[in-house]
Amino acid sequence: MFIPQTFQLLLAASGVVAVTGDAHTHPRRRCAYGDACWPDAQTWSEFNATVGGRLIRTLPPASVCHVPHYNADQCAVVKESWLDSFWRTNQTGAYSAILWEAGKTGHCSIDTPVRAPCDQGIVPYYSVRAESAKDIQESVRFASEKDLLLVTKNTGHDHLGRSTGKGAFSIWTHNMKGIKWHDYFVPQGAPAGVSGVPAVTLNAGEQWFDVYQAASKRGVLVVGGSARTVGAAGGYVLGGGHSPFAHYYGLAADNVLEATIVSADGQHRVLNDFSDPDFFWAIRGGGGSAWGVITSITYRTHPVPQNLVMGFVQLNSSSNASYTRVIAESLKCLPAVTDAGYTGYSSLSEGFSAIFIRPNSTVEHFNQTFASFSNIAQLPGVSGLFAAYPSTWDAYLETVLQDPNIGTNIQDTSRLLTADVIAEKAEDLANLVLENHPAGGFNFIGKVNNDERDNTAVNEIWKHSHALLSISIDWEDNAPDWEKREKRQHAVMLSKQFTDIVGEHGGTYINEASPYEPEWERVFWGNKYDRLLSIKRRVDPTQLFICNRCVGTDFVLEP
């Protein structure tokens, strides 16, 4: 994208200093491995010395099962660990969904013979195993100077392929561990009189499982996701971050008090409401790696709930007619149960099968709130099961935290559903789910606290949403290219069908959205996109940080 000179002049005239001194006004060349502009071996070696020798030639995880990198012992470990999300996130070149290793054509498989080709796919060519902000600063400056195709990777869980890149240079934050608790946290530069609040600072590589363990020992709650290995201070929070506790405390992004970031000019900056309110607003929901490389996030913490109720609802159907009826009627029950404080997750493969959670609740309250569902169980061809029980914090941590769909090629297409859409379009949505059976589900059910919505870049649609409905595509690792192409086209069609049903004002959660969403600016950010774009132009005028369907990107993945 071209940054007009006049815009730069306006910035200068307004006294707002662009954070880069770089004179580029055109999109960069994006030098990837194999291009003439890719640095030579000597240059890489000199760079390697500036990052303490932590430059890694990154390979797909199955490379040790093939010549020339074949190693029988290592290959055995890879085969055994293939679907283990802890192992996956430990690998420089592994991704939660295999297609973000393979790309559209290549694949390095554990199932092919030793001499079968191992394709590098879209796994970055080099990565820096960052240990400190300084490593990241060196890497950002090097990438900027050499115009490299730059990627930031944390866990590799991204659903839109935003932590991957063919021939790219990657900054890998996974090993930047560190958790620091605060009794009274005051953001840097806050005016006198701002009182401190309990908080925690997480370094960029922390994952939710470790944070929950530490929080449990400390006796506090940190608003985080339902998965164990998702990063707690990376893409999750940058995109918003939904949580079973979001009804009370908002999305993860709503709980951020401060962040530290290496910006496009290589500076290590503190972002909060006092240092650069616009930039701080943008990273809370602006998504992906469009903004720089986060080195830490400081979250407000909350008291652990005294008690917690978990409940299950299972409504099976025996025919297509009863199936769509179950989906539509269950959907209509969601506004009331989410307004009452329940959050949950649901599969739609047998009918409606969901888990619900509410802090400070009782089984009696669950029974009253979910009575509406028992009417559905009375419908012909439907069988129902309900159960609720008082739980403890520790039991919650053991039951709920899961890492589903690791090592698949699942790609979601989704929309957040408002009460109006649910009231008017439940049947249309149920039919869409049936047509795509069994690939539908609610990745999140809940009415989140929106007190901070205007202070973050998170899509306004969350103010009115009660559930995130997703329909996915998937393929076998060895699926032919034509099948993958057809399925990607199907995902594009799903986006259009969703828009037809929910309308032009609909939107979705950017971290659980289609990598091929056609109208992504509007669907991901609604009316906040323009402000995001102007902030992007100020803080990254030469577009060092790009990623698929990220703010101001000049790179958009084609289906």
Ligand X SMILES: *[C@@H]1O[C@H](CO)[C@@H](O)[C@H](O)[C@H]1NC(C)=O
Ligand Y SMILES: Cc1cc2nc3c(=O)[nH]c(=O)nc-3n(C[C@H](O)[C@H](O)[C@H](O)COP(=O)(O)OP(=O)(O)OC[C@H]3O[C@@H](n4cnc5c(N)ncnc54)[C@H](O)[C@@H]3O)c2cc1C
Binding site for ligand Y (CB under 6 A): 96, 152-159, 162-163, 173, 204, 225-227, 230-231, 234-236, 238-239, 241-242, 288-289, 293-294, 403-405, 511-512, 547
320 binds, among ligand Y, ligand X, none (CB under 5 to 8 A by kind): ligand X
460 binds, among ligand X, ligand Y, none (CB under 5 to 8 A by kind): none
Neighbour tally for 438: CB within 10 Å = 12
Among 109, 203, 316, 411, interactor with ligand X by CB under 6 A: 316
**Tokens for 544?**
């060092």
Q: Three-state SS for 479? A: coil
- Nearest-approach distance from CB 557 to ligand Y, in angstroms: 12
Nearer to ligand X, 53 or 113 (CB): 53
State the Cα–Cα distance between residues 242 and 235, nearest whole angstrom: 12
Among 154, 314, 346, 511, interactor with ligand X by CB under 6 A: 314
Nearer to ligand Y, 272 or 324 (CB): 272
Among 241, 287, 359, 446, interactor with ligand X by CB under 6 A: 359
**Is residue 493 close enough to count as binding ligand X by CB under 6 A?**
no
Q: What pairs with residue 180 in β-bridges?
A: 201
Q: In the window 240-299, what residues touch ligand X (CB under 6 A)?
A: 248
Among 4, 26, 34, 57, interactor with ligand X by CB under 6 A: 57
Say how many residues touch ligand X, by CB under 6 A.
27
The residue written with tokens 């164990």 in the block is 228
Nearer to ligand X, 57 or 180 (CB): 57
Among 90, 112, 372, 449, interactor with ligand X by CB under 6 A: 90
In terms of DSSP H, where are the helices of 191-317?
208-218, 235-238, 246-249, 277-283
186 binds, among ligand Y, ligand X, none (CB under 5 to 8 A by kind): none
Among 267, 275, 347, 383, interactor with ligand X by CB under 6 A: 383
- Nearest-approach distance from CB 93 to ligand Y, in angstroms: 12
Q: Are 60 and 101 in contact (CB under 8 A)?
A: yes
What is the arrangement of strands in the sheet containing 382-391, beginning at the earlier edge strand? 382-391, 308-317, 351-359, 343-347, 440-445, 465-473, 411-418
Nearer to ligand X, 130 or 546 (CB): 130
DSSP string, 504-549: TT----GGGS-TT-TTHHHHHHGGGHHHHHHHHHHH-TT-----TT
Nearest residue to 152 (alpha-carbon basis) of 133, 124, 132, 180:
124
- Nearest-approach distance from CB 356 to ligand X, in angstroms: 13
The pairing of strands 382-391 and 351-359 is: unpaired
- Nearest-approach distance from CB 396 to ligand X, in angstroms: 13
313-332 per-residue burial string, b: 16 or more CB within 10 A, e: under 16 = bbbbbeeeebbbbbbbbbbb
Distance separating the N- and C-terminal Cα atoms of the chain: 21
Among 273, 278, 350, 486, interactor with ligand X by CB under 6 A: 350
Nearer to ligand Y, 249 or 323 (CB): 249
- Nearest-approach distance from CB 532 to ligand Y, in angstroms: 15
Q: Are 524 and 252 in contact (CB under 8 A)?
A: no
Segment interacting with ligand X, rule: CB under 6 A, options 127-135, 200-208, 301-309, 401-409 = 301-309
Peptide bond into 4 cis (omega under 30): no
DSSP string, 110-170: SSS-TTS----TTS-SEEEE--SHHHHHHHHHHHHHTTB-EEEESSS--TTSTT--TT-EE
List contacts with ligand X (CB under 6 A): 48, 53, 55, 57, 84, 86-87, 90, 248, 303, 305-306, 314, 316, 320, 350, 359-360, 363-364, 367, 383-386, 434-435
